[in-house]
Chain A
Amino acid sequence: METPLTNNIRPDREPLDIEGYEQAGGYRAVRKVLGGMAPADVIEAITQSKLRGRGGAGFPTGIKWSLVPKDLAASGPHYLVVNADEMEPGTFKDRLLLEGDPHQMIEAVIVAAYAIQAETAYIFLRGEYFLAERRLRRAVGEADARGYLGTNILGSGYDLAVHVHASGGRYICGEETALLTALEGRRAVPRAKPPFPQTSGLWGKPTVVNNVETLCNVPHIINNGADWFMGLGRGEDGGTKIYGASGRVRRPGSWELPMSTPLCEIIEEHAGGMRDGYELRGVLPGGLSTSFIMADDIEVKMDFASVEKVGSRLGTGAVIVLDQRTCPIGMLRNLEHFFAQESCGWCTPCRDGLPWVERLLAGIEAGEGEMDDLDILEQHVKFLGPGRTFCAHAPGAMAPLASGLKYFRAEFEQHIHEKRCPWNEAH
């Protein structure tokens, strides 16, 4: 089983320095593209590979790049922005890549920036990722000293500056347009689309925002070709995916596996199955903002299309497991608390709807709920959906709630009728 993304990551997690990285075959992709590939060829190679965004939405990367205007003189400078603001609860795949192999990130940035003809790239890093920040900055310095960054890189005439920007915080900065606004030094409020960042992004200029994991695939695709990449997966989508698991599993963690690895395999083989005394009731397959997949569907292949078929989304591939000893209402209340706290405050349904949802759930959990509350919750599920709110934050928050109302209806009603949380005594 090939694990190109994590191949260089050592058990002690100390990253390779630039020499080690080069010895391991690093910066070959940079030499290859700067040594004779036209930017359009690079985009074509990525398009061929059918690489899809690993941040959660699964947008085809090659297509995203190809939407950037080609006429630099007319459009002004282009920017590449790496979305390294990994704040999806349960998710730590990008952290693994950034801490474990920072040069892979930088190599990917150089190739991608070259492809979209950007001469400036920003890595927008989650503020709390102190170690990743230190390692990235060191790697940027090393790459700069070695001539992979700066002016006239490897004599190609191509210039690139990479800036590591540590975020001031907040979940919404992971939303690509809010990220751009925050990067400009303003309140992290999302932007309406259209215009898309490829037309009017950072500083109003054409900009591509890609997730860390997405980009880390790029050098490998350049080196090994689209067919190789397609062959890595076990289903329709090519490549590998860094899956994770948390909850009452034996070995919570993160693993690079072929795309389309079945959910049950991730949990049973890699996470070691459930801890003694715990049974799996359902999972959130890709972070908090995905719908529950219940035990019946546990054999689903973890790729974009398959997970959608069972009513959820692949998301970040970070599986959060709900067991039978945890109150599902309490879990929902806890995660809606997170979403309510992290609302940017821009649009009404999200700003004022999520706190209401949280309070209703807290009320139900505390045995103070009413049957009408369920109607109000259902109404929020409907009215905080896509297109009704300004960005995807509230629809994301509604995904687990919508499925929770469906799958845990009995538990909701039990709380309301018994005026207590049945799990309270169990603890």
Chain B
Amino acid sequence: MAIIHIDDREFTANPKDNLLQACLSNGFDLPYFCWHPALGSVGACRQCAVRQFANPEDTTGRIVMACMTPATDGTRISIADPEAVSFRASVIEWLMTNHPHDCPVCEEGGECHLQDMTVMTGHAYRRYRFSKRTHRNQYLGPFVKHEMNRCIACYRCVRFYRDYAGGADLDVYAARNNVYFGRAEDGVLENEFSGNLVEVCPTGVFTDKTLSAAYNRKWDMRSAPSVCVHCGVGCNTSVNERGGQVRRILNRYNGAVNGYFLCDRGRFGYGFANRPDRVRTPVLRDPGGSMRTATRTEALDALTKTLGTGGKIIGIGSPRASLEANFALRRLVGADGFHAGVSAREARCLATAIEILQAGAVPTPTLREMEAADVVLVLGEDVADTAPRVALALRQAARGRSMEIADRLKIAHWQDAAVRDAAQGARSPLFVASVAATRLDDIAARTCRAAPCDIARLGFAIRHRIDANAPSVEDLPEAMQALAGEIADALLAAKRPLIVSGCGLGDEAVLRAAAGIAQALNGADRLPGIVLAVPECNSMGLALMQGGSVEDAIDTVTEGATVIVLENDLYRRAERKRVDALFDAAANVIVLDHVSTATVARADIVLPSANFAECDGTLVSGEGRAQRSFQAVFPKDDVQASWMWLRDIAGTSEWHRLDDVVRSLASAMTQFVAIGEATPPGDFRIAGSRIRSEPHRYSGRTAVDADRTVHEPRASVPEESPFSSTMEGYYGQMPASLIPFFWAPAWNSIQSLNKFQDEVGGALRGGDPGVRLFEPNGAAAPRPDATAPGQFVRGPGQWFVVPRRPIFGGEELSALAPAVAERIAAPSLALNPADARSLDVENGGMIDIDFKSGSYRLAVTVAPELPSGVAMLSVGLPGMDWCALPGWGTPRRAEPAP
């Protein structure tokens, strides 16, 4: 720790930080624009000027930029120095010469960092009397709006988009006070982290287009801490509500998980919650077969009647429903009757993943820890599609080599431009073994394309090269041998090697190969990590709960049974005809859900479930982190949390509130014993107050109903919630898991987050949210007998078809969001060029492909890197039937209809 002197008072600082970080960490309000805790310093905006003195005797000093000056021991600065104060006001005055005075109609207004900094510096009176420069705005796609006139040229957007996220289609053009930040031409921003521009931009150049569609000020929205439901990474979000609708998702900083950034699927996927066709009321099927809406009482009566018949009850849970909902179902139908709502293959993969993570010896890192990995092997998982935020973390890990070069040249890590100039893009080794091209290839030291079994074989060969006692792989081609040796050498030379794999290919051998490598690396002074991507937001939690697959459920259903389906569309889990058979056989089908699905359409009784924004619940991420999300939307109709419906069905009265369910679960299943620690209980109060869920109001919101009443309509917040439903309540420091939105006095924008961290960029005060449910206990090293599968042999006239779950469209809920829907590519079958030629189809041509389960007609995408004999089918897209993948298919050129 360094001692620094700020305005003649002593403070501690991290000597690896710069003075801006040090000042902010010590609670000072020092304005800034171009610096960002995740992006470092470049010294462009000149906003954080302070006066630095050489020693205690120096009274003259000199003006320096805090962000460009190290916080070395003994540093003496003055923030209050009159010239520094006046210079900082001048910087705002310069920025304002071109910034439009359109705050009242600007969507950033009220949470604008530029507004905050303007007020902070005291610049209020306009002296510039000339015209302002103007720009043309661009269409940037369904997610982000562009209003270039507001730009203050802080360069953060391009630094995030290009340098941090690896994007290529946003850049800075022109020069002087005409610099332009945009695309070369109008068009959709291609990078899947584009939504972060909304938060990275300190003013209203890049704003959230989905919020714009039904715009509200920040202070007019209720917020709640939430957890993203669109993949298994468990990014923390803040849900903003108004008028009973979700209006937007913001990043909610979690220093261990998502940090400052979300992917676009997570940010813009919420639109499913606002769909007009969502399930809002109970629906009953009349004896004639037609559906009608019903009241809550009618629905419960019908349920009592149905379940009173005493037939067999089968429950099918869901990896997109909360732990509490799944547990409530499990308790209702019993452990034997409970089925995890995933396919048998996925269940096997998840079980394998859990075995590796829980009973192995190598821990799974947090995202922050992933960023510190010095060599990365991605084995058979396209994380850019299945766990996008992990891909972004790996991109940062690859910069490790650049940081080593910087260290050698004594360049501080926060000196962002200097590090990049010195390192010239030097990257730590990252290897990608995948079936097709991935969006990490651009930073990969080497890529390898192979069929899933050959990827597993490569993995086993690497393991053998690391640990000679592990079985070798027979008949491995020479090139693969050499590659295995190269990767093994790199991993052995690493201090923190990281193996990344997952359930995406549905291939257990790939998972076992990844585990084998991690295991072999364990020991000595090496700290390996293993990351296994799981498909959905609660895949891990559901897998920990155990239960048969959807196929098991289909097999066990008997004539006359009652089937209860929890927040799950079975047509996405199994073959259509088999699911049909299940529903045909069942005497009663009860479906709880919030979105309208094909399964809902088959129900006899539909119960309207609360979605993620409408209830509290716990999800377990792939990392094994249990995290609580809270209710932001208070529906007026009969919508309620699934666990409440299931409680009402069971007729038990012991569960009044979520905490009761959590306690039951923790005591019923030891794997969940810690989940209560994810967050304080519902009766948590600070000085007798609940935590407010809205910022101070600066608008005339209460005028909305002013013809009848001047009072704001109150939401009926459950007694046992740590939150009020309004702006009344506690405003100060709160537990990290209970921060509904970031706001601090004088900091209305999301940059107020600085005030919630002990050290800027570090953990939230009191520790980052979430509780890990398991750490590896080493009980069962990966099976020593686990050996490599045989090599890939293509079938005659057949192609081995592997699934791809595209970031946009590959996940059920986000695909229902209108903004995401615009980004979904049409389903297609990827073939390598020679294979396409052999079938006499060209790129874009149509093909029929037959699987055991059925046939598809699809457009062909020619993918040069696909291995011969392997095809790739984008799955999970709306309107596409489920297909047993990976599996063999027989394609042929589609003959046009006569």
Contact = CB atoms under 8 A, between A and B. Distances in A.
B175 A390 contact: no
Contacts of B44: 346-348, 390
Contact of B68 (A192, A200, A351): A192
B72 to A, nearest CB: 13
B886 to A, nearest CB: 43
Contacts of B46: 347-349, 388-390
B201 to A, nearest CB: 16
Interface stretch (A54-62, A128-136, A335-343, A396-404): A335-343
B128 A345 contact: no
Interface size class of A (residues with CB under 8 A): 35 or more
A343 B49 CA distance: 21
Given A191-B417, A200-B422, A204-B424, A343 B177 contact: yes
Contacts of B409: 195, 199-200
A387 interface: yes
B654 interface: no
A356 interface: yes
Contacts of B153: 345, 348, 351
Interface string B403-427: 0010001110001011001111000
Interface residues of B, number: 42
Interface stretch (B94-102, B142-150, B887-895): B94-102
Given A187-B172, A347-B43, A347-B46, A356 B411 contact: no
Contact of A204 (B90, B172, B415, B421): B421
Interface in A323-371: 340-349, 351-356, 359, 363
B97 A352 contact: yes
A348 B178 contact: no
B698 interface: no
Given A170-B175, A192-B68, A372 B127 contact: yes
A192 B175 contact: no
A170 B176 CA distance: 11
B175 A195 contact: no
Interface in A107-131: none
A355 B405 CA distance: 39
A200 B424 CA distance: 10
Interface in B93-152: 94-95, 97-98, 127-128, 130, 152
B597 to A, nearest CB: 50
Interface string B30-72: 0000000000001111110100000000000011100010000
Contacts of A387: 62-64
Contacts of B63: 387-388
Secondary structure at the A interface, as helix, strand, loop or mixed, is helix
A379 interface: yes
Contacts of B175: 170, 343-345
A203 interface: yes
Interface in A364-398: 372, 376, 379, 383, 387-390
> Which of B95, B130, B423 has the most A CB atoms < 10 Å from its CB?
B130
A223 interface: no
A306 to B, nearest CB: 26
B177 A349 contact: no
B666 interface: no
A181 interface: yes
B551 to A, nearest CB: 56
Interface string A182-199: 000001000110110001
A345 B151 CA distance: 12
Interface in B625-674: none
A344 B418 contact: no
Nearest to A69: B409
Given A192-B43, A192-B418, A345-B174, A356 B405 contact: no
A383 B94 CA distance: 11
B307 interface: no
B177 A195 contact: no
B634 to A, nearest CB: 45
Nearest to B180: A345
B821 interface: no
A348 B44 CA distance: 7
A352 B94 contact: yes
A348 B93 CA distance: 10
B418 A383 contact: no
B179 interface: yes
Contacts of A181: 421
Given A191-B417, A383-B90, A200 B411 contact: yes
Contacts of A195: 409-411, 418, 422
Contacts of A359: 130
A379 B481 CA distance: 69
Contacts of B824: none
Given A342-B176, A345-B178, A204 B423 contact: yes
**A340, A343, A345, A387 — most chain B CB neighbours (10 Å):** A345
B64 A345 contact: no
A388 B421 contact: no
A191 B172 contact: no
Contacts of A383: 87, 90
Given A170-B175, A344-B175, A348-B44, A192 B94 contact: no
B91 interface: yes
Residue among B152, B175, B178, B417 with most chain A CB within 10 A = B175
Contacts of A344: 175-176
Interface-centre pick from A187, A199, A203, A347 (highest chain B CB count, 10 A): A347
A67 to B, nearest CB: 13
A355 B177 contact: yes
Interface string A159-203: 000000000001000000000010000010001101100011001
Interface string A135-166: 00000000000000000000000000000000
Contacts of A349: 46, 90-91, 94
Between A203, A341, A383, A389, the greatest number of chain B beta carbons within 10 A of the residue's beta carbon is seen for A383
Which of B43, B45, B175, B176 has the most A CB atoms < 10 Å from its CB?
A: B176
Residue with the greatest number of chain A CB neighbours at <10 A, chosen from B44, B87, B94, B153: B94
A191 B68 CA distance: 12
Interface in B3-48: 42-47
A15 to B, nearest CB: 34
A363 B131 CA distance: 13
B490 to A, nearest CB: 21
Nearest to B49: A388
Most chain B CB atoms below 10 A, which of A346, A355, A376 = A346
A187 B173 CA distance: 9
Contacts of A204: 405, 421-424
Given A199-B409, A390-B43, A390-B44, A352 B95 contact: yes
Contacts of B152: 348
Nearest to A206: B409
A415 to B, nearest CB: 17
B517 to A, nearest CB: 33
Nearest to B131: A359
Interface string A67-104: 00000000000000000000000000000000000000
17 contacts: A192-B43, A192-B415, A195-B410, A200-B409, A203-B424, A340-B177, A348-B45, A348-B47, A349-B90, A352-B95, A354-B176, A356-B94, A387-B63, A388-B49, A388-B87, A389-B46, A390-B44
Given A349-B90, A351-B179, A387-B64, 19 more contacts: A191-B421, A192-B68, A195-B411, A199-B409, A200-B409, A200-B418, A200-B421, A341-B176, A345-B153, A345-B176, A345-B177, A348-B46, A348-B47, A348-B152, A351-B153, A351-B176, A352-B97, A352-B98, A388-B87
Interface of B: 42-47, 49, 62-64, 68, 87, 90-91, 94-95, 97-98, 127-128, 130, 152-153, 155, 172, 174-179, 405, 409-411, 415, 417-418, 421-424
Interface of A: 170, 181, 187, 191-192, 194-195, 199-200, 203-204, 340-349, 351-356, 359, 363, 372, 376, 379, 383, 387-390
Nearest 6 CB-CB pairings of A with B: A352-B94, A345-B179, A200-B422, A204-B422, A343-B176, A359-B130
